[in-house]
Structure 1
Amino acid sequence: MAADAGGLPEEGLALWLTEWKVSTKIPWPGRHLVASVGRSVAGQLDYFLHPDGQAIKVAMLRVHPDFQRRGVAGVLMDALYAAHPTAWINHGWRTGDGARWWNGYREPDPGRNVHNRPPAEWAAYFDAVDVASDKAHIAHQNERYGLHGHRDVAYRYGERLESEAGLYAAAFRPVTPVRVDPGAQPLHGGLRLVLPPAVHAFVHDRTQEAGARAAALLEHLGHGNLPRDAHWNTSAQAAFADTHHQELFESRSPGPPATHVVFTLAPLDASAVSAADALATSVEFTQPGDVAVDVTRMSWRPADRPYLTHTAALTPAVPAAIAPLSAPSASAAYRSRYDESGFLRPAARAGGRPFTDRAAQIQAMAERLLRGQASRTRTPRPKPAPPQTATPRPPAPEQRPPAPGRRP
C-alpha cells in the first residue's frame, strides 16, 4: 500500500492478516491485523470473528509510538471493514486516547456498527446488555473530554437504555467452541532458528539431498527440543505464519537471515492428547512435562526469501519430543533418551543417522561439503580430444548371380 497523506515513509505500509491464538471466554476465533513498515511493526488490530463470518468483536487497536499520528490506525480500521464487508462490528468500549482518536475518525460504513443500530438487528450475535454498557462508558468518555464522538449516528434507545437492552438479552445465541482433535490429524509447529553460517548455507543448498539437510537441522536443534511455546496448527501455512509473526516482533542480530522451520507431527497418542489445550485450529501443550511425538515431515525457508521453501518427508517417521518446561519435569523416558540439553544420547543413536555429532560436527560436515562443491566448480574442464578419422574399409568383393539351372 502506498504511503498516504498522513506522512508514512516512502516504502509505504504493508498489511498482514493472521490468526490470533488466544483462549478466552469468547469462543470465536481470534485474528491479528498487523501493519508493518519495512521490518518494523507500525500497528496492530486484534479482533474476534464469529464462526459464520458475519460479526466482529474488536479487542484492541494500538499503534507503535514511532508511527502515531500518521494515519496507521485509520488504515487498520478501514482494512477491517474491507476484509469483512457484510459483518456487524462491535467496537466495544474505548479508553481516553481511543475516544479522542474515534472523534476524528470517519467510519467507512456506520450502518454496520452495532452502536448505531437497534438491538433487534444484531442481538443474536452480541449480548444487548453488554453493548448498552459499552455505549454508556463511551458517552461518559465523550462528556469527560468534550468530544462529539459521532453521536448523531448513534442509536437512541426508545425506552431507558437498560430496559430496551433487557428485552433483547434472550435473543443472544452463544456459540459452542470448536476444538481441534490432535489425535485425529497431523499437527504443524513453526520455529525460528538463526543457524551458523556454514550450516545455514548447507541446509539451503538445493544441490544437496533434502533428507540429509533435514537431518542436519534436526540434529542442530536436538531431537528433544521441539518448540514448547509454539502453537501446533492444523496446516503448515499457519505454522509458517507463526514464524513470520515471530520474525516481525523479535529483534534480529547481525548475521545470516533466520531460518523458519515447520515440523509436521503424526497424530498424537492418547497420553499426549490429554496434555494439549485445544483451540479451533491449533493446540498448545501447557503441562510442564515433555511430549513424545513422531516427526513425519520438515519444511524450512529463509526468512528473507519465503518463496524458497525446502521440504523433506521423513520415512520412517523420526521419534522426537517437545521439550519439557524444566529438567526436573522431564519424564524418565525422556531422560533415558535425551541428555540435559535435549540431544540424543549415544545409546539412542543405533542405526547411524547422518550428522550424529551435533553442532560442531554438523558445521564441519557442511563446510567440507561446500568446499568440495566449490573446488569442483573451480577445476577447469579438460579440453576435448580431436576427432579421430575413421579408416576406410576395402570394397566388398563383387558377388555374381548363380549360373542358370544351379541352385544358389
Structure 2
Amino acid sequence: MSLWLTDWKTDGREAWSGRRIMAQVGGAYAGHLDVYVHPSGQAVEVAELEVSPDHQLRNLASVMMDALYAAYPTAWINHGRRDPEGTQWWDRYSEPAPERNVHNRPPAEWAYYFEAGVVAAQKAHNAYRNRYQGVDGRREAVYRYGEPMEAEARQHAHLFHAPEPQGPNPQTDELYGGIRLFLPPRLHRVVHDSSRDAAERAEIVLDHLGHGSLPHYSAWNATERGAFEDLAHEEVFDTVSQQPVTHLTFRVLPLTDQQMPPHEVKATWVRFIDSPGIEVELAGMSWRSPQRPWLTHTAVFDPPLDAAIAPEYPADASPQYRARYSEIGDLLPGQMPRRAENASPYVGREAEIRAWADRLRQGIAQRATDRPDPASGQPAPADHQVHQQQSQQQTPRIR
C-alpha cells in the first residue's frame, strides 16, 4: 500500500486549498480522503472519506486519517457530518490527537477558523446518528463541557474570520497547464528520445497537437508540480487505456497585453470560463512518462512561441482565434508560430503599396516623354557634364 498527498481540484471553499490523501494498493486506487486546508495551514476540514469496496474492513480509512493528522501536526481538525457508514467507522476509530478535534474543544479555541454555529449543527447531526445506530461515538469527549451548543455558538460567532480568496493572477503570474497525450508509437519514441534536442521535440509535439489546442478544461496551476500532479491523479483513475501515455505540461507567461478573460481563482490554480480561444505566450514545455516520472524532458522557448488556449466550444471561438487557427487548433496557411519574428512589413499595406507603384509608373512614363531625342543633335544639359579634378597632392609611398 502507498499513500499520496496531492492537490484536490474542487469548486468549493475558494480561499481554502483542496488536498487529497489517496491510497493505492498494488498500484491500483483503493480509497481517498478529501480535505480543505486553511491558508495558514492551521485548520483542516474533512470533506469526504471513501474506501473502495474491494479494500474495506482492512483499516484503510484509519490509516488515511492517521496520515492526515501527521501531515498537519499542529492544525485544528473538523470532521464535519458523518453518514451511516462513517458513524460506524468513527465508533471503532482510535483518534491520534483528540485534543485537536474541534468537536471536542470549546469554540473559544477554534472559532477563528470555523463558524461556531456550523460546527454545532454538525455535532447535533452526529449525535442523532449515534443514537439512531446505537453507538456511543465517544459522546463523553464531545459533550463534556455541559453548556448548550446553541449558547456557545452565539457567544463565539463573532470570532470567526473568513480568509480572503488568494491565488495566482493570470495578469502577473506564469501558469502551468497539463494534458495527457496518446501519441502514435513512432512519434512517442521520438518525443522521449533524450539524444535529440528537447526544443526540436517540443515543437514536433506542438505541431502534432496544434498551437491553438492548449487545454481549456484543465486547471492552470501556479507551479509545474501542480500540473504534473493533476495528470498523475487522472492517470490513477484511468483503468481503460493501455496505450503509452505522455504527461505534457505548458508554461505560459502572464497575460499582460490583452483584456483578462473570465476566470475563477482558487488557492493554487485558476480555471478559465467558456474560453473563446485565449492567446498566450508559450515559454516552455515539459513532459514525462508516468512509468518513469523521474525522467522529465524540458524545452524552453526564448523568445516564446505564440499559442492559444482552445475555445471551449468551437462555435464560440473569437474572431482573433479564427483568423489564426483552424477548428482543430492547427495554424492556418500563412500563419507562423512567432508573429513578432515572421510578420511581413507589407501585411495590411496592399493599397498603399499599389498607390506607390502607380506613382512610380507615372513618373517613369513622364520622364520618357520629356527625354530629348538623341538624333536631333541637341547638346546635353550642362549639369549632366562630367567634371574631373586633378588632385594637387600625391599619395605618399608606403616604405
TM-score normalised by the chain length of structure 1 = 0.80
1:237-252 → structure 2 map (5 Å cutoff): 237-252=225-240
Give per-residue Cα distances to partners, 1:261-320, cap 9 Å, x unaligned: 110001113645332222222111112411111111011111100011011111221111
SS in 2 for 1:260: strand
Shift of residue 207, structure 1, vs aligned partner: 1.0
Residue 26 and residue 201 in structure 1: after superposition, are their counterparts in 2 closer, same or farther (change >3 A)?
closer
Shift of residue 117, structure 1, vs aligned partner: 1.1
- The answer (yes or no) to whether the contact 2:112–2:160 under 8 Å persists in 1 is yes
Q: Counterpart amino acid of 2:190?
A: F
Aligned-partner Cα distance in 2 for 1:350–1:282: 27
Aligned-partner Cα distance in 1 for 2:152–2:173: 47
Give per-residue Cα distances to partners, 1:229-283, cap 9 Å, x unaligned: 1111111111111111111122342232x11111000111364533222222211
Residue 24 and residue 225 in structure 1: after superposition, are their counterparts in 2 closer, same or farther (change >3 A)?
same
Aligned residue number for residue 137 of structure 2: 149
Match of 1:124 among 112, 118, 131: 112
1:218-367 → structure 2 map (5 Å cutoff): 218-256=206-244, 258-269=245-256, 271=258, 273-349=260-336
Aligned residue number for residue 375 of structure 2: none
SS in 2 for 1:319: strand
Give per-residue Cα distances to partners, 1:92-144, cap 9 Å, x unaligned: 11111111111111111111111111112111111111111111100100110
Shift of residue 350, structure 1, vs aligned partner: 7.8
Aligned residue number for residue 54 of structure 1: 42
Aligned residue number for residue 21 of structure 2: 33
Shift of residue 25, structure 1, vs aligned partner: 4.2
Match of 1:136 among 117, 124, 128: 124
Aligned residue number for residue 214 of structure 1: 202
Q: Counterpart amino acid of 2:212?
A: G
Give per-residue Cα distances to partners, 1:315-352, cap 9 Å, x unaligned: 22111111111211111121121112111112214889
SS in 1 for 2:30: strand
Q: Counterpart amino acid of 2:7?
A: E
Aligned-partner Cα distance in 1 for 2:307–2:338: 15
How big is the alpha-carbon RMSD for the aligned residues of Structure 1 and Structure 2?
A: 1.7
Aligned residue number for residue 90 of structure 2: 102
1:76-115 → structure 2 map (5 Å cutoff): 76-115=64-103
- The answer (yes or no) to whether the contact 2:199–2:299 under 8 Å persists in 1 is yes
Aligned residue number for residue 149 of structure 2: 161
Matched, 1:75 2:63: yes
Which piece of structure 1 moves more, 78-87 or 162-171? 162-171
- The answer (yes or no) to whether the contact 2:261–2:272 under 8 Å persists in 1 is no
Identity %: 47
Which piece of structure 1 moves more, 286-295 or 81-90? 286-295
Give per-residue Cα distances to partners, 1:217-237, cap 9 Å, x unaligned: 111111111111111111111
- The answer (yes or no) to whether the contact 2:6–2:19 under 8 Å persists in 1 is yes
Aligned-partner Cα distance in 2 for 1:185–1:68: 43
Residue 216 and residue 72 in structure 1: after superposition, are their counterparts in 2 closer, same or farther (change >3 A)?
same
Q: Counterpart amino acid of 1:134?
A: Q
- The answer (yes or no) to whether the contact 2:275–2:309 under 8 Å persists in 1 is no
Match of 1:65 among 29, 53, 63: 53
- The answer (yes or no) to whether the contact 1:45–1:62 under 8 Å persists in 2 is yes
Residue 152 and residue 328 in structure 1: after superposition, are their counterparts in 2 closer, same or farther (change >3 A)?
same
Aligned-partner Cα distance in 2 for 1:350–1:55: 47
TM-score normalised by the chain length of structure 2 = 0.82
Aligned-partner Cα distance in 1 for 2:328–2:234: 23
Unaligned runs of 5+ in 2: 340-399
Aligned-partner Cα distance in 2 for 1:274–1:326: 15
Which piece of structure 1 moves more, 200-209 or 161-170? 161-170
Aligned residue number for residue 30 of structure 2: 42
**In the comparison of the two structures, how many residue pairs are matched?**
339
Q: Counterpart amino acid of 1:317?
A: P
Residue 165 and residue 251 in structure 1: after superposition, are their counterparts in 2 closer, same or farther (change >3 A)?
same
Residue 21 and residue 289 in structure 1: after superposition, are their counterparts in 2 closer, same or farther (change >3 A)?
same
- The answer (yes or no) to whether the contact 2:29–2:236 under 8 Å persists in 1 is yes
Aligned-partner Cα distance in 2 for 1:289–1:192: 22
Q: If you compute each CA radius of gyration, which structure gives the higher value, 1 or 2?
A: 2
Aligned-partner Cα distance in 2 for 1:162–1:153: 18
Aligned-partner Cα distance in 2 for 1:60–1:271: 40
Aligned-partner Cα distance in 1 for 2:57–2:287: 38
Aligned-partner Cα distance in 2 for 1:349–1:267: 21
SS in 1 for 2:243: coil
Aligned-partner Cα distance in 2 for 1:46–1:118: 25
SS in 1 for 2:141: coil
Unaligned runs of 5+ in 1: 1-12, 353-408
